[in-house]
Structure 1
Amino acid sequence: MGDLLDLLAVWMPRQRWYGTKGRDPRLTVVADWPLDDDARLLLVRDEAVQPAIVYQVPIVQRPEGSVPPGSLIGACGEGHVWADATTDAGFTDQLYAWITEGGAVGTPEDGFVGFTLARPAGKTPAPRAVARVLSGEQSNTSLIFRPDEGADGVPVICKLFRQVNPGINPDVELQSALAAGGAQFVPAAIGEVRGAWITPEGVPVSGSLAFAQEFFEGVEDAWRVALDAAAAGDDFAARAHALGASVAGMHVALAAQFPTRDPDADDRAAVVGAWDRRLAIALAEVPALAPYADRIREVYATAAAAPWPALQRVHGDLHLGQVLHTPSNGWVLLDFEGEPLRPIEERLMPDVAVRDVAGMLRSFDYVSGAVADDDGDAVRAWVIAAQQAFLAGYAETAGAQRTDDDPLLAAFELDKAVYEAIYETRNRPDWIGIPLAAIGRLAPLD
């Protein structure tokens, strides 16, 4: 096992889902579950960062020269190599069986179980399917399973969670509940895999390993749809209104299916503290923010003193890229994990629903920076119209009176723009003007 861990310590940092960039992994094995066809499913603990991160790493042993280059982990002797099993048909066939038919590996205390979820009529997966890894994933690995030739059934997308935590993943918990409640704005749930293992401290825990849902073929996400509409100058108001209604419908359904509570002083302090910490980081890294610092703090103080709605479960990382436009269901919301960088404990707690609204407004604003326009006025007008239509659709479905000067919404929008200023400074300096312009609008100087 030592040789394999050494190989993984070299291979894992090169993967997009590895979360501790710039550090050498310090790995130990938490669980090692043998599978069929020379495959194994590992849970590997990385103590290069605290708190330590547990990663899910399915591996397979294959003859040298028979695996895709990007999947190669390293040699294991006698003409064989270790490879990432997500590109191996032997492993993906097993995974598909677990999510569509069920099945168990190991013991209830040290193993995992796959089980199916309630599915609407017409959403039955095929008995056989061919897998393909979805490119572009950042923090997980998703596989698309299309029905094998001659097999009937819906295509399935299965997300294999690379970072594994005790407890049910919010992506599984929230989407499964919404789908079971008949919501059309989430894909049909197909199945999931949950594991049980013993921590290095000797504590038995369990958590989500994989989640599968209906895959919509040939559709585009809302970001691409919005970009194309803005570039062509097409009116987007009706579609933005419908998107606002879908987001509000999500919040209404989540509030009905999960506990809500009134925020107390500690809740307010935690949110405001997060705003202040983010602002401090931004002021240290983005000098252009300095003139706005006092005004930003005033916006935060006004929001802190304003009435707050009940806290509830939310999406947590909502933007146009997390939404699909489908012929059958209209707008469909995806990826309920929340912000990957937030601790899992925070992502599982009730939050302020307006956080999701602010995320969508900021995402619309980014269209103005991504679409070429000679003077900017036409695209800016498009963005404003889309934002206003989105807010109108949201308010109508949520049953709340619409207010365009909501201090809490302004604060969350501003906090998101401050985060964007940090991100763009670090990664895309040419885009820094987008969040800076938003900050100028949300916290105008006298």
Structure 2
Amino acid sequence: MHTLEELLAHWLPQQRWFAGKGSPITGVTLEAESVLVPGDPELRHLVVAVRQDSGVDRYQVLLGLRGGEELPDRLRHASLGGYTPGAGGSAGTGPVQVYDALHDAELTSALLAGLAAGADLGGLRLRHIAGVEIDTGHTSLVISGEQSNTSLMFGDAYVLKVFRRLWPGLNPDLELTSVLSERGSPYVARPFGWIEGSVAGTPTTCALLQQFLVSATDGWLLAATSVRDLYSTPDLPPGQAGGDFAGEAARLGAATAAVHRKLAEALPTGTVGDAELAELADSMNQRLTRAAASVPGLAPYTDGLRAAFKALTELDEPMPVQRVHGDYHLGQVVRTDAGWVLLDFEGEPAKPVPERTQLSNPLRDVAGMLRSFDYAARYQLVGHPYAEELAAPAREWAQHNRTAFCAGYAAAGGTDPMAHQAVLRAFEFDKAVYEVMYEAHNRPSWLGIPLSSIAALVG
């Protein structure tokens, strides 16, 4: 029979949200363990410290324990294996089956009930927004496709996002969605509550309960559908092909500008001068150096990229900064019957909270979305038999929608991206360099997407 630490060491690297893939685990420690629901089945909350060559990362695991030799059929896919708890466990001292409890609606109902009651369970504090009444009569279902976290859909009312990789502190997703919702922004999913624990002695956001958007369609899916329509009629310009996305791109730009404006009204803003701009350019150059050493195909473009980063240090005036989304792309927005809604304000999950909450220029988010338009246009050409013939229409589609997004952003009162090319290009190139590294390590067949974009942009 394995120890719990051994089961976790085997199971964690198989999860989509595990950040340390490709590097061996050298140790697993349970930093915190508490029983949230006693009995059989039992619900436990774990904070798991995972040691690898790159350092130590903490992960949140909600563990189910059931007596017997096998799990019910509906839970077998979530199994970690068999385990014998110590005498202190309420599940008893005999062998039990251990599994990812987020897939067990019988146990997750306790989380929704705890949020409704404002309860303390084990070492967790479950709280709801003042004045909110939470309906506990919903059954949970895990939403598939999450990359960094695990989200539960409770009927058609709520989504509970469980943050998997834990960084000490208040998660920006809770902070920013609360700020925007309090100020009446229609462009965010309303937050209803949160779960808080303690990591390294610091109060830490473990989960966020939000409104479930019934009519929502993923922005990436909508853009991809438009691209497929274009590919079926490649001789037509993007604006004349069926499923033209430019109108939606413009409205998305306007929604983005409105969110940036609300954040600037509610939270600190500032400017950065020569010293800070030089530091920002230096960090971009360092990332480029690492990427070029790892991906030889980037070498022909390094001079052009460095020139774009250097232009940041030559701005005529200080650069305004504020709180921004921080990880913005088509997968972070949905189209509802009422319009666009922005999701996942947590920033880049691989960065500690203090880094994610640093002020930045809003064009960083604009640059992220522009890169996403390029990806939406090109990814369907990977392995496509007519990739060469469709490359030009793909570029036209991307440019068509990039232009529409920027126009919508400027028309809604945002900084005109076209009037601040030095800042926009630096952020966009820096994002593309990051993409080169990501694809080289995770999806080599997609490496041509950011490389071809860099070649076109630098050229």
TM-score (ref. length: structure 2): 0.86
Q: Deviations over 1:408-443 (max 9, x none)?
A: 101111111222222233333333332222212322
Q: Contact 1:322/1:333 (CA < 8 Å) preserved in 2?
A: yes
Q: Contact 1:118/1:189 (CA < 8 Å) preserved in 2?
A: no
The alpha carbon displacement at 1:399 in A equals: 4.4
Aligned with 1:39: secondary structure?
Answer: strand
Counterpart of 1:30 in structure 2 is 31
- Distance in 1, matches of 2:136 and 2:390, equals 55
Counterpart of 2:129 in structure 1 is 117
Counterpart of 1:425 in structure 2 is 440
Aligned with 2:407: secondary structure?
Answer: helix
Counterpart of 1:257 in structure 2 is 266
The alpha carbon displacement at 1:156 in A equals: 0.8
Q: What amino acid does structure 2 have at the position aligned with 1:292?
A: Y
Aligned with 2:184: secondary structure?
Answer: coil
Q: Contact 1:312/1:353 (CA < 8 Å) preserved in 2?
A: yes
Ranges in structure 1 where 5+ consecutive residues have no aligned partner: 147-153
Q: 1:80 aligns with which of 89, 93, 96?
A: 96
Which stretch of structure 1 is more off in the superposition, 238-247 or 23-32?
23-32
- Distance in 2, matches of 1:163 and 1:431, equals 26
Counterpart of 2:172 in structure 1 is 170
Matches within 5 A, 1:196-215: 196=198, 199=200, 204-215=201-212
Q: 1:334 aligns with which of 340, 343, 359?
A: 343
Q: Deviations over 1:129-188 (max 9, x none)?
A: 111111122221111110xxxxxxx52111111122221011111111111211111101
The alpha carbon displacement at 1:91 in A equals: 2.4
Q: Deviations over 1:98-122 (max 9, x none)?
A: 333321124xxxx2211112578xx
The alpha carbon displacement at 1:387 in A equals: 0.8
Q: Deviations over 1:24-46 (max 9, x none)?
A: 25122222221224221111222
Q: Deviations over 1:355-412 (max 9, x none)?
A: 1000000101112213457443333322212111100111122343452561010111
Counterpart of 1:386 in structure 2 is 401
- Call closer, same or farther: CA 1:410–1:220 in 2, change over 3 Å: same
The alpha carbon displacement at 1:342 in A equals: 2.5
Aligned pair 1:65/2:70, yes or no? Answer: yes
- Call closer, same or farther: CA 1:304–1:70 in 2, change over 3 Å: farther
The alpha carbon displacement at 1:287 in A equals: 2.0
- Call closer, same or farther: CA 1:140–1:190 in 2, change over 3 Å: same
Aligned with 1:351: secondary structure?
Answer: coil
Counterpart of 1:222 in structure 2 is 219
- Distance in 2, matches of 1:438 and 1:227, equals 18
The alpha carbon displacement at 1:266 in A equals: 4.8
Aligned with 1:166: secondary structure?
Answer: coil
Q: What amino acid does structure 2 have at the position aligned with 1:71?
A: A
Ranges in structure 2 where 5+ consecutive residues have no aligned partner: 85-93, 230-240
Q: What amino acid does structure 1 have at the position aligned with 2:360?
A: D
Counterpart of 2:183 in structure 1 is 181
Which stretch of structure 1 is more off in the superposition, 180-189 or 302-311?
302-311
- Distance in 1, matches of 2:379 and 2:453, equals 15
Counterpart of 2:91 in structure 1 is none
Counterpart of 1:150 in structure 2 is none
Counterpart of 1:288 in structure 2 is 297
Counterpart of 1:13 in structure 2 is 13
- Call closer, same or farther: CA 1:401–1:423 in 2, change over 3 Å: closer
Aligned pair 1:96/2:129, yes or no? Answer: no
Aligned pair 1:311/2:327, yes or no? Answer: no
Q: Contact 1:145/1:155 (CA < 8 Å) preserved in 2?
A: yes
Counterpart of 2:193 in structure 1 is 191
- Distance in 2, matches of 1:244 and 1:76, equals 52
Q: Contact 2:274/2:313 (CA < 8 Å) preserved in 1?
A: no
The alpha carbon displacement at 1:273 in A equals: 2.4
Aligned pair 1:438/2:435, yes or no? Answer: no
- Distance in 2, matches of 1:231 and 1:66, equals 43
The alpha carbon displacement at 1:66 in A equals: 2.1
The alpha carbon displacement at 1:127 in A equals: 2.8
- Distance in 2, matches of 1:133 and 1:180, equals 28
> How many residues align structurally?
424
- Distance in 1, matches of 2:43 and 2:416, equals 56
- Distance in 1, matches of 2:420 and 2:271, equals 22
Aligned with 2:415: secondary structure?
Answer: coil
- Distance in 1, matches of 2:30 and 2:128, equals 28
Q: Where has structure 1 moved over 6 Å in runs of 4 or more?
A: none
- Distance in 1, matches of 2:451 and 2:60, equals 39
Q: What amino acid does structure 2 have at the position aligned with 1:159?
A: K
Q: What amino acid does structure 2 have at the position aligned with 1:312?
A: Q
- Call closer, same or farther: CA 1:69–1:364 in 2, change over 3 Å: same
Q: Deviations over 1:63-90 (max 9, x none)?
A: 3312422321222243521222111233
Aligned with 1:262: secondary structure?
Answer: strand
- Call closer, same or farther: CA 1:401–1:216 in 2, change over 3 Å: closer
Q: What amino acid does structure 1 have at the position aligned with 2:128?
A: T
- Call closer, same or farther: CA 1:3–1:262 in 2, change over 3 Å: same
The alpha carbon displacement at 1:236 in A equals: 1.9
Matches within 5 A, 1:390-401: 390-401=405-416
Q: What amino acid does structure 2 have at the position aligned with 1:114?
A: L
- Distance in 1, matches of 2:59 and 2:298, equals 37
- Distance in 2, matches of 1:165 and 1:376, equals 41
TM-score (ref. length: structure 1): 0.89
Percent same amino acid at aligned positions?
38
Counterpart of 1:297 in structure 2 is 306
Aligned with 1:316: secondary structure?
Answer: coil
The alpha carbon displacement at 1:218 in A equals: 5.0
Q: Deviations over 1:10-35 (max 9, x none)?
A: 22222222222222251222222212
- Call closer, same or farther: CA 1:89–1:25 in 2, change over 3 Å: farther
- Call closer, same or farther: CA 1:423–1:401 in 2, change over 3 Å: closer
Q: Contact 1:366/1:434 (CA < 8 Å) preserved in 2?
A: yes
Which stretch of structure 1 is more off in the superposition, 378-387 or 129-138?
378-387
- Distance in 2, matches of 1:286 and 1:50, equals 20
Counterpart of 2:51 in structure 1 is 47
Which stretch of structure 1 is more off in the superposition, 92-101 or 235-244?
92-101
- Distance in 2, matches of 1:308 and 1:320, equals 30
- Distance in 1, matches of 2:374 and 2:166, equals 33
- Call closer, same or farther: CA 1:40–1:282 in 2, change over 3 Å: same
Counterpart of 1:267 in structure 2 is 276
Counterpart of 1:363 in structure 2 is 372
